[in-house]
Protein backbone atom coordinates (compact mmCIF):
# COMPACT_ATOMS: atom_id res chain seq x y z
CA UNK A 1 0.00 0.00 0.00
CA UNK A 2 1.20 3.51 -0.73
CA UNK A 3 0.21 6.71 0.99
CA UNK A 4 -2.64 7.28 -1.49
CA UNK A 5 -4.24 3.90 -0.80
CA UNK A 6 -7.81 4.34 0.36
CA UNK A 7 -8.30 1.44 2.78
CA UNK A 8 -6.62 -1.03 5.10
CA UNK A 9 -8.00 -4.13 6.77
CA UNK A 10 -6.32 -4.91 10.11
CA UNK A 11 -7.02 -7.74 12.57
CA UNK A 12 -6.18 -7.10 16.21
CA UNK A 13 -5.42 -10.11 18.43
CA UNK A 14 -5.00 -8.78 22.00
CA UNK A 15 -4.41 -12.18 23.62
CA UNK A 16 -3.43 -12.57 27.27
CA UNK A 17 -1.70 -10.84 30.18
CA UNK A 18 -0.56 -7.36 29.18
CA UNK A 19 -1.54 -8.11 25.58
CA UNK A 20 -4.93 -6.36 25.79
CA UNK A 21 -3.33 -3.30 27.45
CA UNK A 22 -0.70 -2.72 24.75
CA UNK A 23 -3.12 -3.77 21.99
CA UNK A 24 -5.50 -1.02 23.12
CA UNK A 25 -2.72 1.52 22.52
CA UNK A 26 -2.00 -0.01 19.11
CA UNK A 27 -5.68 0.31 18.19
CA UNK A 28 -5.75 3.99 19.14
CA UNK A 29 -2.53 4.69 17.24
CA UNK A 30 -3.68 2.92 14.07
CA UNK A 31 -6.99 4.81 14.16
CA UNK A 32 -5.11 8.10 14.60
CA UNK A 33 -2.85 7.31 11.66
CA UNK A 34 -5.84 6.44 9.49
CA UNK A 35 -7.27 9.86 10.14
CA UNK A 36 -3.94 11.63 9.67
CA UNK A 37 -3.08 9.86 6.40
CA UNK A 38 -6.59 9.67 5.00
CA UNK A 39 -7.37 5.98 4.52
CA UNK A 40 -10.46 4.01 5.51
CA UNK A 41 -9.76 1.57 8.30
CA UNK A 42 -11.46 -1.78 8.83
CA UNK A 43 -10.11 -3.02 12.17
CA UNK A 44 -11.53 -6.13 13.82
CA UNK A 45 -10.66 -7.71 17.16
CA UNK A 46 -10.44 -11.50 17.45
CA UNK A 47 -9.40 -14.08 20.04
CA UNK A 48 -6.12 -15.93 20.36
CA UNK A 49 -4.21 -17.76 23.09
CA UNK A 50 -5.54 -18.39 26.58
CA UNK A 51 -8.45 -16.00 26.11
CA UNK A 52 -9.51 -18.02 23.08
CA UNK A 53 -9.15 -21.31 24.98
CA UNK A 54 -11.39 -19.98 27.76
CA UNK A 55 -14.02 -18.78 25.29
CA UNK A 56 -13.95 -21.53 22.67
CA UNK A 57 -11.58 -24.31 23.75
CA UNK A 58 -9.38 -23.49 20.74
CA UNK A 59 -6.21 -21.29 20.97
CA UNK A 60 -6.88 -20.01 17.43
CA UNK A 61 -10.58 -20.23 16.54
CA UNK A 62 -11.46 -20.77 12.90
CA UNK A 63 -13.20 -17.39 12.81
CA UNK A 64 -10.03 -15.62 13.89
CA UNK A 65 -7.87 -17.45 11.36
CA UNK A 66 -10.34 -16.70 8.57
CA UNK A 67 -10.31 -12.99 9.46
CA UNK A 68 -6.51 -12.97 9.42
CA UNK A 69 -6.44 -14.54 5.97
CA UNK A 70 -8.56 -11.66 4.64
CA UNK A 71 -6.54 -8.90 6.30
CA UNK A 72 -3.69 -6.72 5.08
CA UNK A 73 -1.93 -7.21 8.43
CA UNK A 74 -2.41 -8.66 11.91
CA UNK A 75 -1.36 -6.99 15.16
CA UNK A 76 -0.85 -9.35 18.11
CA UNK A 77 -0.51 -8.53 21.81
CA UNK A 78 0.82 -11.61 23.63
CA UNK A 79 -0.26 -15.13 24.52
CA UNK A 80 0.09 -17.33 27.58
CA UNK A 81 0.11 -17.08 31.35
CA UNK A 82 0.08 -19.14 34.56
CA UNK A 83 -3.55 -20.13 34.10
CA UNK A 84 -2.63 -22.14 31.01
CA UNK A 85 0.97 -23.03 31.83
CA UNK A 86 0.62 -26.81 32.28
CA UNK A 87 3.08 -28.22 29.70
CA UNK A 88 1.16 -31.51 29.72
CA UNK A 89 -2.09 -29.86 28.67
CA UNK A 90 -3.35 -30.93 25.27
CA UNK A 91 -4.38 -27.37 24.41
CA UNK A 92 -2.02 -24.47 25.17
CA UNK A 93 -2.03 -20.78 24.21
CA UNK A 94 1.27 -21.00 22.33
CA UNK A 95 -0.31 -23.46 19.89
CA UNK A 96 -2.38 -20.57 18.53
CA UNK A 97 0.75 -18.59 17.76
CA UNK A 98 2.52 -21.51 16.10
CA UNK A 99 -0.59 -22.30 14.07
CA UNK A 100 -1.10 -18.78 12.77
CA UNK A 101 2.53 -18.62 11.63
CA UNK A 102 2.25 -21.94 9.82
CA UNK A 103 -1.20 -21.41 8.33
CA UNK A 104 -0.38 -17.94 7.00
CA UNK A 105 3.06 -18.90 5.68
CA UNK A 106 4.94 -16.50 7.92
CA UNK A 107 8.39 -17.99 7.58
CA UNK A 108 10.62 -15.07 8.60
CA UNK A 109 10.63 -13.13 11.85
CA UNK A 110 12.34 -9.72 11.77
CA UNK A 111 13.52 -8.23 15.06
CA UNK A 112 15.34 -4.89 14.95
CA UNK A 113 17.49 -4.05 17.97
CA UNK A 114 18.48 -0.41 18.40
CA UNK A 115 19.60 1.40 21.51
CA UNK A 116 18.27 4.84 22.31
CA UNK A 117 21.24 6.71 23.84
CA UNK A 118 19.21 7.67 26.90
CA UNK A 119 18.60 3.98 27.71
CA UNK A 120 22.24 2.91 27.78
CA UNK A 121 22.12 2.95 31.57
CA UNK A 122 19.08 0.66 31.62
CA UNK A 123 20.94 -2.18 29.93
CA UNK A 124 22.80 -4.66 32.14
CA UNK A 125 25.85 -4.11 29.92
CA UNK A 126 28.28 -1.26 30.41
CA UNK A 127 27.48 1.67 28.09
CA UNK A 128 30.82 1.40 26.28
CA UNK A 129 29.82 -2.07 25.03
CA UNK A 130 26.60 -0.69 23.55
CA UNK A 131 27.90 2.10 21.34
CA UNK A 132 26.73 1.68 17.76
CA UNK A 133 24.29 -1.17 18.39
CA UNK A 134 21.79 -1.28 15.50
CA UNK A 135 21.01 -4.74 14.17
CA UNK A 136 18.29 -6.73 12.45
CA UNK A 137 17.83 -10.39 13.34
CA UNK A 138 16.06 -12.51 10.72
CA UNK A 139 14.82 -15.74 12.29
CA UNK A 140 13.38 -18.67 10.33
CA UNK A 141 9.95 -19.20 11.83
CA UNK A 142 8.18 -22.34 10.61
CA UNK A 143 10.83 -25.09 10.54
CA UNK A 144 13.30 -26.79 12.82
CA UNK A 145 12.70 -28.60 16.08
CA UNK A 146 9.69 -26.49 17.05
CA UNK A 147 7.70 -27.97 14.16
CA UNK A 148 9.38 -31.36 13.74
CA UNK A 149 7.98 -34.74 14.73
CA UNK A 150 7.82 -35.23 18.49
CA UNK A 151 7.82 -38.22 20.78
CA UNK A 152 7.19 -37.93 24.49
CA UNK A 153 7.06 -40.56 27.19
CA UNK A 154 8.12 -41.16 30.77
CA UNK A 155 11.61 -42.34 29.86
CA UNK A 156 12.23 -40.95 26.38
CA UNK A 157 11.43 -37.83 24.38
CA UNK A 158 12.55 -36.40 21.06
CA UNK A 159 12.09 -33.25 18.99
CA UNK A 160 13.08 -33.79 15.38
CA UNK A 161 14.86 -30.87 13.70
CA UNK A 162 14.42 -30.83 9.93
CA UNK A 163 15.05 -28.23 7.23
CA UNK A 164 14.68 -28.31 3.48
CA UNK A 165 16.68 -26.32 0.94
CA UNK A 166 13.62 -24.28 0.04
CA UNK A 167 12.92 -23.32 3.67
CA UNK A 168 16.48 -22.08 4.07
CA UNK A 169 16.73 -20.33 0.70
CA UNK A 170 13.67 -18.15 1.14
CA UNK A 171 14.69 -16.75 4.53
CA UNK A 172 18.31 -16.22 3.44
CA UNK A 173 17.10 -14.31 0.37
CA UNK A 174 15.02 -12.07 2.64
CA UNK A 175 17.99 -11.51 4.94
CA UNK A 176 20.27 -10.85 1.97
CA UNK A 177 17.95 -8.17 0.63
CA UNK A 178 17.79 -6.52 4.06
CA UNK A 179 21.60 -6.64 4.40
CA UNK A 180 22.03 -5.15 0.93
CA UNK A 181 19.75 -2.25 1.88
CA UNK A 182 21.68 -1.65 5.10
CA UNK A 183 25.47 -2.01 5.35
CA UNK A 184 26.04 -5.01 3.06
CA UNK A 185 27.01 -7.23 5.96
CA UNK A 186 25.34 -10.52 6.95
CA UNK A 187 26.13 -13.05 9.69
CA UNK A 188 24.65 -16.56 9.50
CA UNK A 189 24.46 -18.30 12.88
CA UNK A 190 24.53 -22.11 13.07
CA UNK A 191 26.02 -25.12 14.86
CA UNK A 192 27.63 -26.70 11.81
CA UNK A 193 30.33 -28.46 13.82
CA UNK A 194 27.65 -30.69 15.39
CA UNK A 195 24.30 -30.53 13.55
CA UNK A 196 23.50 -31.84 10.08
CA UNK A 197 20.76 -29.24 9.61
CA UNK A 198 23.29 -26.50 10.33
CA UNK A 199 25.63 -27.88 7.70
CA UNK A 200 22.79 -27.68 5.18
CA UNK A 201 22.11 -24.11 6.32
CA UNK A 202 25.77 -23.24 5.75
CA UNK A 203 25.86 -24.90 2.31
CA UNK A 204 22.63 -23.32 1.05
CA UNK A 205 23.46 -19.90 2.50
CA UNK A 206 26.82 -19.94 0.75
CA UNK A 207 25.22 -20.80 -2.58
CA UNK A 208 22.51 -18.12 -2.25
CA UNK A 209 24.95 -15.41 -1.21
CA UNK A 210 27.42 -16.24 -4.00
CA UNK A 211 24.78 -16.32 -6.74
CA UNK A 212 22.38 -13.58 -5.64
CA UNK A 213 24.30 -11.33 -3.27
CA UNK A 214 27.96 -11.16 -4.34
CA UNK A 215 28.02 -7.56 -3.08
CA UNK A 216 27.08 -8.60 0.49
CA UNK A 217 29.75 -9.97 2.81
CA UNK A 218 28.70 -13.07 4.75
CA UNK A 219 30.35 -14.59 7.79
CA UNK A 220 29.44 -17.85 9.52
CA UNK A 221 29.44 -17.95 13.32
CA UNK A 222 28.69 -20.86 15.64
CA UNK A 223 25.74 -20.12 17.90
CA UNK A 224 27.68 -20.39 21.15
CA UNK A 225 30.24 -17.88 19.87
CA UNK A 226 27.45 -15.61 18.63
CA UNK A 227 25.86 -15.64 22.07
CA UNK A 228 29.17 -14.49 23.51
CA UNK A 229 29.67 -11.76 20.88
CA UNK A 230 26.18 -10.37 21.54
CA UNK A 231 27.39 -9.53 25.01
CA UNK A 232 31.07 -8.73 24.40
CA UNK A 233 30.87 -6.93 21.04
CA UNK A 234 27.25 -6.51 19.88
CA UNK A 235 28.05 -3.69 17.45
CA UNK A 236 29.90 -6.17 15.20
CA UNK A 237 26.49 -7.39 13.99
CA UNK A 238 24.31 -5.66 11.41
CA UNK A 239 22.02 -8.35 9.94
CA UNK A 240 21.83 -11.83 11.43
CA UNK A 241 20.03 -14.80 9.86
CA UNK A 242 19.51 -18.07 11.70
CA UNK A 243 17.26 -21.05 12.27
CA UNK A 244 14.17 -21.10 14.45
CA UNK A 245 15.37 -22.15 17.90
CA UNK A 246 18.69 -20.30 17.74
CA UNK A 247 16.85 -17.17 16.65
CA UNK A 248 14.34 -17.48 19.46
CA UNK A 249 17.08 -17.62 22.08
CA UNK A 250 19.44 -15.05 20.56
CA UNK A 251 16.76 -12.41 20.04
CA UNK A 252 15.70 -12.58 23.67
CA UNK A 253 19.36 -12.17 24.62
CA UNK A 254 19.72 -9.26 22.20
CA UNK A 255 16.65 -7.56 23.67
CA UNK A 256 18.67 -6.75 26.78
CA UNK A 257 20.90 -4.55 24.65
CA UNK A 258 18.02 -2.10 24.23
CA UNK A 259 17.53 -1.61 27.96
CA UNK A 260 14.10 -3.22 28.22
CA UNK A 261 12.34 -6.11 26.52
CA UNK A 262 9.32 -3.82 26.36
CA UNK A 263 11.08 -1.71 23.73
CA UNK A 264 11.44 -4.20 20.91
CA UNK A 265 9.06 -4.87 18.01
CA UNK A 266 8.90 -7.72 15.54
CA UNK A 267 7.42 -8.55 12.16
CA UNK A 268 6.58 -12.05 10.94
CA UNK A 269 6.52 -12.07 7.15
CA UNK A 270 5.98 -14.45 4.27
CA UNK A 271 5.73 -13.90 0.54
CA UNK A 272 3.83 -10.80 -0.48
CA UNK A 273 2.95 -7.90 1.76
CA UNK A 274 1.00 -9.61 4.53
CA UNK A 275 2.58 -9.69 7.98
CA UNK A 276 1.92 -10.29 11.65
CA UNK A 277 3.30 -7.67 14.04
CA UNK A 278 3.92 -8.10 17.76
CA UNK A 279 6.20 -6.89 20.54
CA UNK A 280 8.63 -9.53 21.75
CA UNK A 281 7.96 -9.08 25.47
CA UNK A 282 5.39 -11.81 26.03
CA UNK A 283 2.32 -11.66 28.28
CA UNK A 284 4.13 -10.53 31.49
CA UNK A 285 1.34 -11.77 33.79
CA UNK A 286 3.11 -10.39 36.88
CA UNK A 287 2.30 -6.81 35.81
CA UNK A 288 -0.93 -7.39 33.88
CA UNK A 289 -3.76 -5.02 34.72
CA UNK A 290 -1.56 -2.57 36.63
CA UNK A 291 -0.87 -0.02 33.91
CA UNK A 292 2.86 -0.78 34.10
CA UNK A 293 3.31 -2.38 30.67
CA UNK A 294 5.58 -0.54 28.26
CA UNK A 295 3.59 0.02 25.02
CA UNK A 296 6.58 1.17 22.95
CA UNK A 297 7.43 -2.30 21.64
CA UNK A 298 3.86 -2.68 20.43
CA UNK A 299 3.76 0.80 18.90
CA UNK A 300 7.09 0.17 17.17
CA UNK A 301 5.55 -3.04 15.80
CA UNK A 302 2.74 -0.92 14.38
CA UNK A 303 5.42 1.22 12.72
CA UNK A 304 6.84 -1.93 11.12
CA UNK A 305 3.33 -2.78 9.89
CA UNK A 306 3.03 0.59 8.16
CA UNK A 307 6.44 0.01 6.57
CA UNK A 308 6.33 -3.64 5.47
CA UNK A 309 2.62 -4.38 4.91
CA UNK A 310 1.08 -1.00 4.14
CA UNK A 311 3.99 0.57 2.29
CA UNK A 312 3.67 3.82 4.24
CA UNK A 313 7.26 4.56 5.17
CA UNK A 314 6.58 8.17 6.18
CA UNK A 315 3.95 7.00 8.67
CA UNK A 316 6.34 4.38 10.03
CA UNK A 317 9.11 6.93 10.52
CA UNK A 318 6.76 9.36 12.27
CA UNK A 319 5.85 6.68 14.82
CA UNK A 320 9.49 5.73 15.39
CA UNK A 321 10.47 9.39 15.80
CA UNK A 322 7.63 9.99 18.26
CA UNK A 323 8.71 7.03 20.41
CA UNK A 324 12.29 8.29 20.41
CA UNK A 325 11.16 11.79 21.37
CA UNK A 326 9.09 10.42 24.24
CA UNK A 327 12.09 8.52 25.59
CA UNK A 328 14.27 11.62 25.34
CA UNK A 329 11.65 13.57 27.31
CA UNK A 330 11.17 10.86 29.97
CA UNK A 331 7.60 10.36 28.76
CA UNK A 332 7.71 6.62 29.38
CA UNK A 333 6.83 3.79 31.72
CA UNK A 334 8.77 2.85 34.89
CA UNK A 335 10.90 0.16 33.18
CA UNK A 336 12.54 2.99 31.21
CA UNK A 337 12.88 5.29 34.21
CA UNK A 338 9.65 7.21 33.63
CA UNK A 339 6.45 7.46 35.63
CA UNK A 340 3.71 7.17 32.98
CA UNK A 341 1.11 4.43 32.84
CA UNK A 342 0.66 2.29 29.74
CA UNK A 343 -2.17 4.45 28.44
CA UNK A 344 -0.36 7.71 29.27
CA UNK A 345 2.75 6.57 27.39
CA UNK A 346 0.63 5.60 24.40
CA UNK A 347 -1.10 8.98 24.49
CA UNK A 348 2.29 10.73 24.62
CA UNK A 349 3.36 9.02 21.40
CA UNK A 350 0.12 9.95 19.65
CA UNK A 351 0.43 13.55 20.84
CA UNK A 352 3.92 13.90 19.39
CA UNK A 353 2.78 12.47 16.05
CA UNK A 354 -0.18 14.87 15.94
CA UNK A 355 2.08 17.81 16.79
CA UNK A 356 4.51 16.84 14.03
The pLDDT, as a whole number, for residue 88 is 82
The pLDDT, as a whole number, for residue 219 is 98
Q: Decide if pLDDT at 181 tops 70.
A: yes
- Average pLDDT, rounded, for the chain: 94
| Band of residue 126 on the pLDDT scale cut at 50, 70, 90 | confident
C-beta atoms surrounding 62 within 10 Å? 9
pTM of the model: 0.92
In Å, what is the CA distance from 238 to each residue of 94, 172, 218, 227, 262? 30, 15, 11, 15, 21
Between CA 172 and CA 108 the distance in angstroms is: 9
Catalytic site residues?
146, 191, 224, 248, 252
Give the model confidence (pLDDT) of 80-103 as tens digits. 999 998 878 899 999 999 899 989
Between CA 301 and CA 313 the distance in angstroms is: 13
In Å, what is the CA distance from 228 to each residue of 198, 221, 225, 238? 19, 11, 5, 16
Amino acid sequence: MSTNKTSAKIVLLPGDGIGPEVAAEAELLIADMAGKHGFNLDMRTKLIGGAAIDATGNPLPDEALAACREADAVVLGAVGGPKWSDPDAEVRPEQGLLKIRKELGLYANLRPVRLHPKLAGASPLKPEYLEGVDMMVVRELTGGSYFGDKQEGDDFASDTCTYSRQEIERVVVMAGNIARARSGKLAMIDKANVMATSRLWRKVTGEVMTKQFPDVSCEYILVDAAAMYLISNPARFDVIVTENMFGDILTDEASMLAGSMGMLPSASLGDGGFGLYEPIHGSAPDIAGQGLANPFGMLASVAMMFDYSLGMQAAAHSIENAISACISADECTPDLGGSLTTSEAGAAVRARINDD
